[in-house]
Amino acid sequence: MTKTVLVLVETVDDYLPLLEAEGYRLIRAQTPVLRAEAIARHGAEIDAVLTRGPLGLYADEIAVLPALKIICVIGAGYEQVDLVAARARGIVVTNGAGANASTVADHAMALLFAVVRNIPHADASTRRGEWNRVISPSLAGKRLGVLGLGAVGLAIARRGAQGFDMQVSYHNRRPRTDVPYAYCDSPLALARASDFLLVATPGGAGTQQLIGRAELQALGAEGYLVNIARASVVSTQALVEALRTRTIAGAGLDVFDDEPQVPDELKGLANVVLTPHVAGQSPEAARDTVTLVLRNLQAFFAGQAVLTPVAG
């Protein structure tokens, strides 16, 4: 029997035919209006939902999807999926942990290079016919702190250690025994041990504002912060203040509190590089993400264990 998947995500269109080729019927609803219409019109037919962390799936939506059996989240984060409502119905939730880790890590390092080496301003001034040869710090041999050593954090750590001879430290919910990097017991301790602090945690209540004024002060006037995780992990107010007062040297940000809106305070600062939540996007990442979704769906509907379950 054909299974129907409600697709809320808007970033993997080119690879959705992988699902259709395996017999899944897709209902694409990639705007808020289409989402509401699809749920109202097709709610009784929907067996699975494909979403991402910030888009989520809410309790009131779950309540009107009586056939829903599985929610597949692309990416590692699932902060707006109502896990309590899903568990109450026995609905399985999976995520895409690891599928786009390499792409996200690449983008994290690109943001770090861009802000430390002042690439955007050098490019803009050169195009204006200027020749401003500003001296910028080197990255080699510096101290790299990674907040969250999951698949993405580990990929970042390896790039720093193996590519740039960086001394890597990390903070995690618990120490890992399978890595050679130094463990710090708090975000504050990690900031003190870092020249470059890269945020790679999931979003959600457990990671709200792990980085605030104290951590930014500990990072210091020659320190840089990069966030490719969720904006909620870093206090935006404290970060704007730290950038404005040069409490830290600069920041690279791919995530924001109210996307697609970006605070004017950030846009007006010269020591921050901004990108529109694209760290996880590449053809390779999209393909691997949809392939993982397909494998989870196939396993689930065959009565087998899913590959990447989200704990309740």
Amino acid 97: pLDDT: 85
Burial pattern 167-189, b for ≥16 Cβ within 10 A else e, equals bbbbbbeeeeeebebebbeebbb
| Tens digit of each residue's pLDDT, the chain (312 residues) | 799 999 999 989 999 999 999 999 999 999 999 999 999 999 999 999 999 998 999 999 999 999 999 999 998 889 999 999 999 999 999 999 899 999 999 999 999 999 999 999 999 999 999 999 999 999 999 999 999 999 999 999 999 999 999 999 999 999 999 999 999 999 999 999 999 999 999 888 889 999 999 999 999 999 999 999 999 999 999 999 999 999 999 999 999 999 999 999 999 999 999 999 999 999 999 999 999 999 999 999 999 999 999 986
Contact, 49 vs 72, CB < 8 A?
yes
pTM across the whole model: 0.92
Q: In angstroms, rounded to a whole number, what is the distance separating the alpha carbons of residues 85 and 146?
A: 33
Which residue do the tokens 């003190």 mark? 192
Amino acid 203: pLDDT: 85
DSSP string, 1-25: ---EEEE--SS-GGGTHHHHHTT-E
- Look at the alpha carbons of 109, 110, 114, 117 in this order and tell me if their dihedral is positive or negative: positive
Q: Please identify every residue annotated as catalytic.
A: 230, 259, 277
- Look at the alpha carbons of 294, 297, 299, 302 in this order and tell me if their dihedral is positive or negative: negative
Q: In angstroms, rounded to a whole number, what is the distance separating the alpha carbons of residues 207 and 204?
A: 6
Fold identical between 4-99+283-301 and 101-274? Answer: yes
Residue spans of the domains in the chain: they are 4-99+283-301, 101-274
Dump pLDDT digits (tens) for 234-271.
999 999 999 999 999 999 999 999 999 999 999 999 99
What is the number of other CB atoms lying within 10 angstroms of the CB of residue 311? 6
CATH ID of 4-99+283-301, from 3.20.20.80, 3.40.50.720, 1.10.1060.10, 2.30.30.60 = 3.40.50.720
Q: In angstroms, rounded to a whole number, what is the distance separating the alpha carbons of residues 270 and 306?
A: 46
Amino acid 312: pLDDT: 64
Regarding the domain with residue range 101-274, which homologous superfamily does it belong to in the CATH classification?
NAD(P)-binding Rossmann-like Domain (3.40.50.720)
Q: How far apart are the first and last CA of the chain?
A: 29
Indicate the DSSP class of residue 248.
Answer: S
CA distances from 19 to 5, 27, 48, 292 (A): 9, 12, 12, 11
